């Protein structure tokens, strides 16, 4: 099932032995389009501290009551490596983080989540070695919100959300508010159609024309307030 990030911000997070805060943001890899971390606002519990949670620690995203299950104890989270000293997120922080929890690292294999195709709890690894390639592509979903969508022949709207697969934690589509160009409707664009994200100019560049998008979207629209978040405008890549 697909879930929209903008519907998840503010959701409560419940550890095994109590609440730990609420969803503040998601960090995703802009090359593989996988969500790597959920950013937790811990509120008064760990005042002033942000916490990262890997999907390894989380249940499904469609939990009732706007509360997401975290398969960890509060003390485990409290004693986890602090992110404040590693902004932006460094590979060394990730090595320390994955070693602390004993999860398989994702960057040493072609598999999306290390030893398995999906995030799951597995026996602890004995060592986590950083890769030779240090360039990373972790980005904030909140920071991309509002970026212009630029087609081959002009702008069509802005990013308003990301549709996440609640099992694999892959980003399946970007949600785009089209504004006056397309009567305020929302459309979905597959990451496979994205040429690059231009962070300097706050825009997402796609390999499509306005006509391409309008023609295909005529049959696959997501209207504002739709109850069908999985409706798509382009086939997945």
Q: 33 near 190, Cβ under 8 Å?
A: no
Cα(54)–Cα(108) distance, integer angstroms: 16
Each domain of the chain, given as residue ranges in start order, spans: 2-139, 145-217
pLDDT in tens, 26-69: 999 998 999 999 999 999 999 878 899 999 999 777 667 788 99
pLDDT for position 119: 56
Bridge partners (DSSP) of residue 188 are 175
Say if residue 192's pLDDT is above 50.
Answer: yes
- Alpha helix (H) ranges present in the chain? 5-8, 74-78, 91-101, 141-144, 210-217
pLDDT in tens, 203-221: 999 999 999 888 777 756 5
Say if residue 223's pLDDT is above 50.
Answer: no
pLDDT in tens, 88-143: 788 888 989 999 999 888 877 665 555 454 554 433 333 334 443 444 678 999 99
Say if residue 224's pLDDT is above 80.
Answer: no
pLDDT for position 142: 94
Cα(153)–Cα(231) distance, integer angstroms: 25
CATH of 145-217, one of 3.30.70.270, 3.40.605.10, 3.40.50.720, 2.30.30.240: 2.30.30.240
pLDDT for position 200: 93
pLDDT for position 176: 94
By mean pLDDT, which of 4-18, 156-170, 176-190, 196-210 is the weakest? 176-190
CATH of domain 2-139: 2.30.30.240
Say if residue 77's pLDDT is above 80.
Answer: yes
Which tokens sit at 36? 């790597």
145-217 matches 2-139 in CATH topology: yes
pLDDT for position 120: 46
């Amino acid at each position: 099932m697909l879930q929209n990030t903008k519907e998840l911000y503010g959701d409560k997070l419940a550890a095994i032995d109590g609440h730990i805060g609420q969803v503040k943001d998601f960090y995703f890899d802009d090359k593989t389009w996988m969500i790597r971390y959920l950013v937790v606002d811990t509120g008064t519990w760990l005042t002033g501290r942000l916490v990262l949670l890997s999907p390894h620690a989380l249940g499904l995203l469609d939990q009732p009551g706007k509360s997401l299950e975290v398969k960890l104890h509060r003390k485990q989270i409290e004693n986890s490596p602090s992110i404040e000293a590693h902004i932006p997120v460094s590979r060394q922080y990730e090595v320390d983080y994955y070693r602390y929890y004993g999860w398989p690292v994702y960057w040493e294999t072609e598999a999306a989540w290390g030893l398995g195709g999906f995030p799951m709890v597995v026996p602890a690894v004995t060592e986590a070695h950083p890769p030779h390639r240090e360039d990373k592509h972790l980005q904030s979903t909140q920071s991309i919100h509002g970026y212009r969508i630029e087609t081959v022949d002009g702008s069509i709207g802005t990013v308003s959300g990301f549709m996440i697969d609640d099992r694999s934690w892959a980003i399946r589509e970007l949600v785009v508010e089209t504004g006056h160009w397309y009567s305020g409707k929302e459309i979905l664009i597959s990451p496979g159609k994205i040429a690059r994200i231009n962070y300097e100019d706050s825009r997402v560049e796609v390999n499509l024309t306005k006509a391409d998008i309008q023609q295909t979207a005529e049959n696959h629209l997501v209207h504002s307030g739709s109850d069908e978040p999985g409706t798509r405008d382009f086939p997945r890549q």
